[in-house]
């Protein structure tokens, strides 16, 4: 129980330990998580998404440098698609860690999107909370751009940045994935490449096609960067601040925080329900359930009714 | 209740109606779904995935023509990323339907990947079952390639096809998304483009880097097509048949079907658990829960304990 005050005092090792325990033995730290919860919810949460090769990691790196220059502690959660082969996140913490090695004001963590058998990633919320409790502000959540899970994660950020590269058809993919509608800031990275003007014009055109839902809606920014040469990054950081100000000024921050709380609670609850489901199916009375379904000796709807009878107080 | 025999007799309109009811009022058709379940599980399920622009829809079209030429009824389930803006699938049934308009032997259905608040798409399994009961063999499940949801869906197919285009970096994305490890057949589409040889060589190289897990493992095929000119499609259809033969011959089909049953049952059960969770949270005693969480007046872990007390028979 002495973990909570340590994390709240900004102890990096204690925070890392709490995160590990969240993954390995959540029951042992649930009281710690309860204790830190009231100290969360105040940091800026910035989502950054883009296809592999868009340079979003370089951009995040450069943004981290800016925040560090202002003595802010920064958290980075890098969400990687799970490899079904290795079962883990593809990019490791170590690769990323090296970039800010020795800087005790940067906390980086890689996470896989999802586990097996319907197990949603419960840990994004917990990792973000631990980072906030440790003092990170902002927390940057970085994801690969196509796929509903990733879109959901970015939607949960207060400010969403979509990173694109000229000439790769990223705009089309962004539309398909529904990213166009959630981006607060578009970044055309590698803006020194041919086609940057066209990419900016395309984004502008698509934004004009969707009329703003409310008269005082946020007008998404379209910015150009060359992250590896550190160009245009100040403008991105400034746009993030402006968007956050706008959220607060127009009263939208509150609604956003409530939605975030709702979705994160559902993720948490569903992952626990999945644990309970697994435990119930492991009981003797259900032995061989998957064979029975697969061999069509039982149907899934009847099995579900049996489980519900066993599990729930009321129908 | 007269729906089940109609669907099993191959009535297209009855099958379409059953699917609609699965979405709109599942309780009203659960007995129908129970009745058709024993008649499912025998058709070939073929997953086809690839990035937008890879031409996977054209390839699926051509494959459908082949199966129709052999008088087989075909089902196509097209999984589209959900647009958070419209709330529905981006590509409509109508666009797709037109391609095989008037052919009563082709049943096409578009589905969005996921709903809001952790609601997993329960309908892929139901739609596939209805198609099978109606007589579709094969059922082709077409998805966009990057994203864990899509990978999960394709994994559930008996035979997985990954479609790539030369020179677009699709191989890299496929690795990131973990598709390399699940593909039974690689199709380099638009193989008349420069870079096709390179793409084939890259795939071969990556396959060689991962040693086969078992000595009698399936050796993934790498095929070239120009779908819009109808070139190479016979080879794809033949490779699908060969893979299915191999699954049966080596006893792997059984394990695959069992895994499919497991995952589909979890999806079904979790989506019902989510419904129950929503219903519980809507009760008076929990009024204002999201505000309390968002304002840090309550923590989510304690709320979850309260819900569990209310919901479950045993802790």
ipTM: 0.85
Shortest distance between the Cα of A269 and any Cα of chain B, in A, equals 6
What residues contact A145, with CB distance under 8 A and at least 6 apart?
A49, A50, A51, A54, A162, A163, A170, A173, A174, A177, A179, B146
Shortest distance between the Cα of A295 and any Cα of chain B, in A, equals 8
pLDDT digits (tens, 9 = 90+) for B42-95: 999 999 988 777 888 899 999 999 999 999 999 998 886 654 433 344 444 444
pLDDT score recorded for residue B248: 95
pLDDT score recorded for residue A9: 97
Cα B211 from Cα B217, distance rounded (Å): 10
Q: Is the pLDDT of residue A165 over 80?
A: yes
Give the predicted TM-score (pTM) of the model. Answer: 0.76
Lowest mean pLDDT among A36-40, A52-56, A168-172, A282-286: A168-172
Of A156 and B95, the one with more pLDDT: A156
What residues contact A217, with CB distance under 8 A and at least 6 apart?
none
Q: Which residues of B touch A267 (CB under 8 A)?
A: 118
CA atoms within 13 A on the CB side of A24: 6
State the burial class of residue B211 (Cβ atoms within 10 Å of its Cβ: 0-12, 13-18, 19+).
Answer: exposed
pLDDT score recorded for residue A114: 53
Closest chain B CA to residue A267: B118
pLDDT score recorded for residue B88: 41
Q: Which residues of B touch A280 (CB under 8 A)?
A: none
Residue of A277, A262, A280, A270 whose CA lies nearest to A122: A270
Strands B159-164 and B45-50, sheet pairing: parallel
- The answer to whether the beta carbons of residues B227 and B193 sit under 8 Å apart is no
pLDDT score recorded for residue B313: 77
Cα B101 from Cα A208, distance rounded (Å): 34
φ/ψ of residue A159, rounded to 5:
-130, 125
- The answer to whether the beta carbons of residues B299 and A34 sit under 8 Å apart is yes
For the residues A158-174, what does the mean pLDDT come to?
Answer: 80
Residue from the list B169, B294, B301 with its beta carbon closest to the beta carbon of A261 = B294
Point out the residues of chain B with pLDDT beneath 50: 83-95, 97, 115-120
pLDDT score recorded for residue A120: 37
Q: What share of chain B is helix, strand, coil (3-state, %, to 5)?
A: 55, 15, 30
pLDDT score recorded for residue A240: 98
Closest chain A CA to residue B90: A176
pLDDT digits (tens, 9 = 90+) for A274-295: 888 999 999 999 999 999 999 9
Lowest mean pLDDT among A80-89, A218-227, A306-315: A80-89
List, in order of start, the domains of chain B with CATH numbers. 41-250 (3.40.50.300)
Question: How far from chain centre, in Å, is Cα A251?
Answer: 23
pLDDT score recorded for residue B94: 41
Shortest distance between the Cα of A281 and any Cα of chain B, in A, equals 10
Coil, strand or helix at A269: helix
Q: Which residues make beta-bridge pairs with A110?
A: A78
B44-to-A21, A75, B139 alpha-carbon distances in Å: 43, 47, 6
Most confident range, picked from A128-137, A210-219, B103-112, B162-171:
A128-137
Of A97 and A71, the one with more pLDDT: A71
Under DSSP, the state recorded for A286 is G
Whether A178 sits inside 8 A of B33 (CB atoms) is no
Residue of A196, A192, A142 whose CA lies nearest to A168: A196
Residue from the list A81, A265, A310 with its beta carbon closest to the beta carbon of B293 = A265
Average confidence score pLDDT of chain A:
84
pLDDT score recorded for residue A271: 82
Strands A159-164 and B106-112, sheet pairing: unpaired
- The answer to whether the beta carbons of residues B66 and A162 sit under 8 Å apart is no
pLDDT digits (tens, 9 = 90+) for A69-83: 999 999 998 886 654
Whether A290 sits inside 8 A of B265 (CB atoms) is yes
């Amino acid at each position: 129980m002495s973990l909570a005050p340590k994390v709240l005092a900004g102890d990096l090792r204690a925070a890392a330990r709490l995160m590990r325990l969240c993954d390995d033995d959540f029951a042992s730290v649930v009281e710690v998580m309860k204790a830190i919860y009231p100290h969360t919810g105040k940091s800026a949460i910035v989502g950054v998404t883009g296809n592999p090769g868009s340079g979003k990691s370089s951009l995040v790196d450069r943004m981290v440098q800016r925040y560090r220059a202002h003595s802010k502690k920064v958290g980075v959660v890098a969400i990687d698609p799970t490899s079904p082969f290795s079962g883990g996140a593809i990019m490791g913490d170590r690769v990323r860690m090296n970039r800010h090695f020795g800087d005790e004001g940067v906390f980086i963590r890689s996470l896989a999107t999802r586990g097996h058998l319907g197990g949603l990633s419960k840990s994004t919320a917990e990792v973000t909370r631990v980072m906030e409790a440790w003092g990170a502000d902002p927390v940057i959540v970085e994801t690969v751009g196509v796929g509903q899970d990733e879109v959901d994660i970015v939607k949960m950020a207060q400010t969403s940045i979509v990173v694109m590269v000229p000439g790769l058809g990223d705009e089309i993919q962004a539309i398909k994935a529904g990213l166009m509608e959630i981006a607060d800031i578009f970044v055309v990275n590698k803006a020194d490449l041919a086609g940057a003007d066209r990419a900016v014009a395309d984004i502008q055109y698509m934004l004009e096609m969707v009329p703003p839902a409310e008269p005082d809606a946020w007008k998404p920014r379209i910015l150009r960067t060359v992250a590896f040469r550190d160009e245009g990054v100040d403008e991105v950081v400034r746009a993030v601040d402006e968007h956050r100000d706008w959220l607060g000024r127009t009263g939208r921050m509150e609604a956003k925080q409530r939605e975030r709380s709702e979705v994160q609670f559902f993720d948490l609850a569903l992952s626990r329900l999945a644990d309970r489901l697994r435990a119930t199916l492991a009981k003797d009375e259900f032995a061989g359930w998957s064979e029975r379904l697969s061999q069509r000796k039982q149907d899934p709807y009847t099995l579900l009714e049996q489980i519900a009878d066993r599990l729930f107080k009321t129908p």
